[in-house]
């Protein structure tokens, strides 16, 4: 179960027509029996005891393209003490992950910032266009069981 700063899950259900009514004209949209339910998402657990939330971290990234290489600096500021896997992913113009680098057991202190600077050399023939940098924070260990924070739009750069 997961709480992300007051977010809600929206489920939409469409009720089908009764048997034998297939030839009848469809009723107006409002009468089709569309039901919308809003379900609150529950709290995620950081270490089995202490709750963490998406809003516990603020992340961003910058990227500089120079000399055939891309230097990415990813930053995360935490509002609480935490231990996490700091994951940085580069996503190509087609939505595919082209690079991933991470640091396990990264210690965050309340109000503190952690930074990873990495270099990615695009292989020959890499697609031109806009690339995204994503940042994720996960429970430490080889399984990355719990997601603490995810930012799909941490940064971007253009590969000419």
Q: What are the tens digits of pLDDT across the range 47-94?
A: 444 445 567 899 999 999 999 999 999 999 999 899 999 999 999 999
Residue 1's pLDDT band (cuts 50, 70, 90): very low
Tokens linked to 114: 């952690």
Q: What are the tens digits of pLDDT across the range 7-36?
A: 333 323 233 334 444 444 433 333 333 333
Selecting from 2.40.50.140, 2.160.10.10, 1.10.3720.10, 2.60.40.2360, what CATH number does the domain 51-159 have? 2.60.40.2360
Closest by alpha carbon to 103, among 70, 77, 61, 74? 74
Domain boundaries, the chain: 8-44, 51-159
Q: Do the beta carbons of residue 115 and residue 155 sit within 8 Å?
A: no
CA 111, chain centre distance (Å): 22
Q: What are the tens digits of pLDDT across the range 122-158?
A: 999 999 999 999 999 999 988 888 899 999 999 999 9
DSSP single-letter state for residue 15: P
């Amino acid at each position: 179960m997961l709480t992300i700063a007051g977010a809600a899950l929206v489920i939409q259900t469409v009720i089908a027509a009764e048997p034998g009514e297939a030839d009848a004209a469809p009723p107006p949209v409002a009468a089709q029996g569309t039901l919308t339910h809003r379900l609150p998402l529950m709290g995620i657990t950081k270490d089995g005891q202490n709750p963490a939330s998406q809003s516990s971290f603020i992340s961003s990234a910058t990227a500089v393209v120079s000399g055939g290489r891309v230097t990415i600096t990813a930053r995360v500021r935490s509002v609480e003490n935490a231990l996490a896997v700091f994951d940085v992913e580069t996503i190509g113009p087609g939505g595919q992950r082209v690079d991933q680098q991470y640091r396990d057991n990264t210690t965050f202190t309340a109000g503190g910032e952690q930074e990873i600077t990495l270099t990615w050399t695009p292989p020959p023939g890499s697609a031109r266009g806009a690339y995204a940098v994503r940042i994720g924070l996960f429970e430490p260990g080889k399984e990355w069981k719990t997601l603490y924070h995810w930012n799909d739009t941490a940064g971007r750069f253009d590969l000419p």
